[in-house]
């Protein structure tokens, strides 16, 4: 007697879609990790739906992009803040401000860290122009980094769907 478990694949696809949605939310909300959720979706597909379909090229590119995003998330913003004369305190304070701003929406996530950086740099006796430059560099890094991730991940998900469908 054969048992039909096609419904189970459907359940796994729902889990994968939920993980991908959480991954997209993680790109925008700093308290959620983005790549672990995408990885979770790929791994659920690999181990619970089809264990051989994703190519080695796909896995190598996903590994590379994950590494690139990690470097970008942790070093790029700090590097650019330092390049424009920012202090260590302003880098860490902007991260905390971003987390505090989450309940207040996307605009707050952008503007609150910028305001915090400007205030901190002014307290460090920077000119208004220099403090604004450091704050603006942080915001631009956040915006362009987010856009880059959204485009990159969307490309990877399209590739994923092409390989599996």
Residue in this structure with the two tokens 């054969």, named with its chain if needed: 2
Q: At what angle do helices 128-164 and 6-28 cross, to 10 degrees?
A: 170
Model confidence at 92: pLDDT above 50: yes
Let me know if 73 is exposed, middle or buried by CB neighbors in 10 A (0-12, 13-18, 19+): middle
Per domain, the residue ranges of the chain are: 6-164
User: Tokens in use for 53?
Assistant: 């379909």
Pairwise CA distance, residues 61 & 136, whole Å: 32
Confidence category of residue 4, pLDDT binned at 50, 70, 90: low
Give tens-digit pLDDT for 27-78.
Answer: 988 778 899 999 999 999 999 998 778 899 999 999 999 999 888 876 776 6
Give the pLDDT score at 96.
Answer: 87
Tell which phi-psi region holds residue 86, choosing left (phi > 0), alpha (psi between -120 and 50) or beta: beta
Contacts of 148 (CB under 8 A, 6+ apart): 72
Check if the beta carbon of residue 23 is closer than 8 Å to that of residue 35.
Answer: yes
Pairwise CA distance, residues 19 & 38, whole Å: 6
Q: Which of 6-10, 72-76, 147-151 has the lowest mean pLDDT?
A: 72-76
Residue range 122-136: average pLDDT? 92
Confidence category of residue 1, pLDDT binned at 50, 70, 90: very low
Tell which phi-psi region holds residue 2, choosing left (phi > 0), alpha (psi between -120 and 50) or beta: beta
- Centre a 10 Å sphere on the Cβ of residue 157 and count the other Cβ atoms it contains: 16
Give the pLDDT score at 75.
Answer: 73
104-127 as b/e: b if 16+ CB within 10 A: eeeebbbebbbebbbebbeeeebe
pTM metric for this prediction = 0.83
User: Tokens in use for 122?
Assistant: 């002014």
Give the pLDDT score at 138.
Answer: 82
């Amino acid at each position: 007697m054969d048992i039909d478990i096609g419904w189970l694949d459907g359940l796994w696809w729902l889990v994968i879609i939920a993980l991908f949605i959480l991954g997209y939310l993680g790109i925008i909300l700093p308290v959620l990790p983005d790549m672990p959720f995408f990885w979770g979706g790929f791994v659920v597909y690999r181990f619970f739906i089809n264990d051989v379909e994703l190519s080695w090229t796909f896995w190598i590119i996903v590994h590379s992009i994950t590494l690139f995003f990690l470097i970008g998330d942790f070093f790029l913003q700090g590097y650019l803040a330092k390049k424009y004369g920012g202090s260590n305190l302003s880098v860490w304070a902007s991260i905390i401000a971003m987390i505090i701003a989450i309940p207040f929406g996307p605009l707050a996530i952008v503007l609150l860290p910028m305001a915090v950086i400007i205030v901190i740099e002014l307290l460090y006796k920077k000119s208004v122009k220099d403090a604004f430059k450091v704050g603006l560099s942080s915001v631009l890094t956040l915006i362009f980094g987010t856009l880059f991730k959204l485009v990159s991940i969307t490309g990877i998900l399209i590739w994923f769907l092409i390989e599996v469908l």
